[in-house]
Amino acid sequence: MSERHTILDSITSAFVPIHPEGRKFIAGFAVAALILFLLAPPLGWLGVIATVLCAYFFRDPERVTPQRPGLVVSAADGKLVNIGTVIPPKELALGEALLTGISVFLSVLDVHVVRAPVAGRVAHSTYVPGKFLNAELDKASEENERRAMVIETPAGEKIGVVLIAGLIARRIVTFVGEGASVAAGERIGLIRFGSRVDVYLPAGGDVLVAAGQTAIGGETALAELPGVRASGP
């Protein structure tokens, strides 16, 4: 019995959960595939492939978030494209003091569920309409459609998170609003089909990653907040 459970666990663990936001899209592709099978079987197989790809896009794997105090974890899966000292966007309402900005570019193959980089309270959230430029471009942070959020930690540090639509992305969905309390690594939103997430934190902290590195949302430690000494082994 124990061995059977081990085999069953191994099989089920290979299947990544699908986020509820994606179910209607997957169902739509599946219905289209069925219709294509009835009309022209070869096209039906293309519909099956499209359905599988859609399911893959909306996968929502569980993540284990580091719990050390003072750590800022990646808000999304993808490639780190920009790391530097910048003036935060006006919609974050964080003033004009220089902050450390870290950008993650999500390709269509990355997990698109966005997670809270720190634990705290959502102190500010605003939607900004805009264009749909390639999210890998620097100007996408200022010109693309986006959702800007500020999470205030229990220590009073304010961390900005901006979910940015991309060339293909046409919809940003958020799961939390102003006043909500979030845990580090908690799901806070989803961007459909290619995008970018910018994180802004107080300057002076220790950045733990480099541009070009691949980040895992909710797990990769991006930085350590200034003045907060992480306790660890």
Name the residues annotated as catalytic.
195
Q: Of 119, 85, 82, which Cα lies nearest the Cα of 197?
A: 82
d(CA 53, CA 62): 20
Contact 200, 101 (CB under 8 A): yes
For 224, the token pair is 């350590």
Residue 229 sits at φ, ψ, to 5 deg, of -90, 115
Please give the order of strands across the beta sheet that includes 71-73: 71-73, 221-224, 206-207
d(CA 164, CA 159): 16
| In the block, residue with structure tokens 């209607």 | 24
Contact 164, 193 (CB under 8 A): no
Q: Which residues of 104-139 are buried (b: 16+ CB within 10 A; e: fewer)?
A: bbbbbebbbbbbbbbbbebebbeebeeebbebbeee
Which stretches of the chain are DSSP H helices?
Answer: 2-13, 23-39, 41-57, 140-143
